[in-house]
Amino acid sequence: LAKTTQPISMDSYEGQEVNITCSHNNIATNDYITWYQQFPSQGPRFIIQGYKTKVTNEVASLFIPADRKSSTLSLPRVSLSDTAVYYCLVGDPASNYQLIWGAGTKLIIKP
Amino acid sequence: ETGVTQSPTHLIKTRGQQVTLRCSSQSGHNTVSWYQQALGQGPQFIFQYYREEENGRGNFPPRFSGLQFPNYSSELNVNALELDDSALYLCASSLGGERYTFGSGTRLTVV
């Protein structure tokens, strides 16, 4: 099972672009990279998932280099409501329950 | 479409007691997973059910057990509660194990 490493915490300001990088050196061929967001006392919420290159949706972009040993979640023009814990997960979608959740990155957005 | 609903939202139990937590999966989802999340940590996988059969289990003792019903709702049962069982218990549903939708959790306090 691949493990991930991400910063424990990050600070930024409203209106800025925030990039959170996740390291996953042991990623396997069938593994996808998935990011979740979690607010206090709520369950995690799916943000984005990708396999390689770049994926973009209405809330974020995910950049994955060719070697796939890392990935970067990009949040454009953050607001105070983006303050949350962000989890990077790596695993085979066919067996998603085997994903190992780290402590995530606590992102604090300041006015 | 309805999301994942968990009940109760909060619960206080005494050490040694038994508890049952309930989860209604999102409409159309046939897979349910349960997680334990201690304060400040990421969710830890307990087990997963697919079409009423357990098809994956994390590193939790047998006193953690579960059920999935024909309508895909699910229960998590914990016997002989210990103080360390105090946590947020999350239920997540998916269709075939991809892109989980989480409930808001049940906050269990064991005293």
Q: CB of B75 within 8 A of CB of B48?
A: no
- Please give the pLDDT value at position A103: 84
Assigned token pair, A67: 């070697």
- Please give the pLDDT value at position B94: 87
* Candidates B42, B98, B101; nearest CB to A101: B42
Residue A33 has pLDDT above 60, yes or no: yes
Q: For B102, name the nearest residue in chain A, comparing CA atoms only.
A: A43
Residue A44 CA to residue B6 CA, distance in Å, equals 14
CB within 8 Å: B56 and A44: no
- Please give the pLDDT value at position A76: 95
Residue A97 has pLDDT above 90, yes or no: no
* Candidates A49, A101, A104; nearest CB to B99: A49
Question: Between residues B58 and A63, which one has the greater pLDDT?
Answer: A63
Bond from prior residue into B8 cis (ω within 30 degrees of 0): yes
Residue A21 CA to residue B96 CA, distance in Å, equals 29
State which amino acid sits at residue A74. S
In degrees and rounded to multiples of 5, residue A15 shows phi and psi of 85, -10
* Candidates B98, B101, B102; nearest CB to A96: B98
Residue B15 CA to residue B6 CA, distance in Å, equals 22
pLDDT grade for B108, boundaries at 50, 70 and 90: very high
Mean pLDDT across chain B = 92
Residue B1 has pLDDT above 80, yes or no: no
Residue B3 CA to residue B26 CA, distance in Å, equals 5
Residue A26 has pLDDT above 80, yes or no: yes
Show which residues on chain B lie within 8 Å of chain A, measured between beta carbons.
4, 33, 35, 40-45, 48, 55-56, 88, 90-92, 94, 97-105, 107
